[in-house]
Amino acid sequence: MQLVKAKDYQELCRMAAERIIGKVKRARNIKLGLATGGTPTGVYRELIEDHRKNGTSYRHVTTFNLDEYVGLSPEHPSSYHYYMNKNLFEHIDIPKEKTYLPNGMSADLEAECRRYETLIEAEGGIDIQILGIGLNGHIGFNEPGTPFDSLTHVVQLAETTREANSRYFGSPDEVPTHAVTMGIGTIMKSREILLLVNGRNKADILRRLFEEKVTEQLPASVLKTHPHVTIIADEEACSRLYVFP
Ligand SMILES: O=P(O)(O)OC[C@H]1O[C@](O)(CO)[C@@H](O)[C@@H]1O
């Protein structure tokens, strides 16, 4: 894992966006893995601004999101479909039919998980996967204890995750109890991974990621075994690291 330090959230977003834009410009056909949550919103703002100012086109881009809540339709304002439409897709020229998220409304969720996994494979896999990290080290919605070889599956969300994400809902009770998420094995098949970590509340989990051994109890620790991972973290997130490059 390579650690790149950003002064603050704004710089982190600029750095991440630069990497993504560079790839989008260079490749004729690129598959991006996208994340939701608070962390990547500023990165998406940078991509939109660049699209407007510099005309970077996304017509040749396919996207796969990490996860979606079970039981929320794409029109639900707290669904990840809605988030992606509002925070990115509606503002760039990406073909809507090339933007994929798991369908949390499927009547057969097991079949939906298989369909999503097969779809990623059929498109040739993900070139670069953007990740945030949960306070308990989750990546996607893969909570501690998830097997490292897991593929897209249905998860029961940890109470701490429901609590952390309740800020996107009217009340904590409205946060769904389950989600469909790419598995850790799915994420690890990505050719490159960009983990974004910002803010003081992520300082402890970033410290743990560097200090602790690779274990399924800390899902993000699996990234240490991937050949091409870059972590972009701001100063606040790095504030508990002993050694800093
Ligand atoms: O960026 P946030 O809001 O801190 O969330 C961290 C992670 O938790 C999730 O919200 C749960 O999947 C991810 O989407 C995100 O990467």
At 84, the amino acid letter reads M
Q: Which one from 138, 198, 234, 236 is the annotated catalytic residue?
A: 138
User: Which pLDDT score, from 0 to 100, does residue 243 have?
Assistant: 61
Please say if 201 is a catalytic residue.
Answer: no
**Best probe residue, ligand 1, of 9, 34, 39, 196 (max atoms within 8 Å of C-beta):** 39
Tell me which residues have their CB closer than 6 angstroms to ligand 1. Answer: 35-39, 67, 132-134, 140-141, 165
Sequential pLDDT tens for the chain (245 residues): 999 999 999 999 999 999 999 999 999 899 999 999 999 999 999 999 999 999 999 999 999 999 999 999 999 999 999 999 999 999 999 999 999 999 999 999 999 999 999 999 999 999 999 999 999 999 999 999 999 999 999 999 989 889 999 999 988 899 999 999 999 999 999 999 999 999 999 999 999 999 999 999 999 999 999 999 999 999 999 999 976 54
Q: What is the pLDDT of residues 165-221, one digit of tens each?
A: 999 998 889 999 999 999 999 999 999 999 999 999 999 999 999 999 999 999 999
Closest atom of ligand 1 to CA, residue 181: 12
Residue 67 a catalytic site member = yes
All structural domains of the chain: 2-234 (3.40.50.1360)
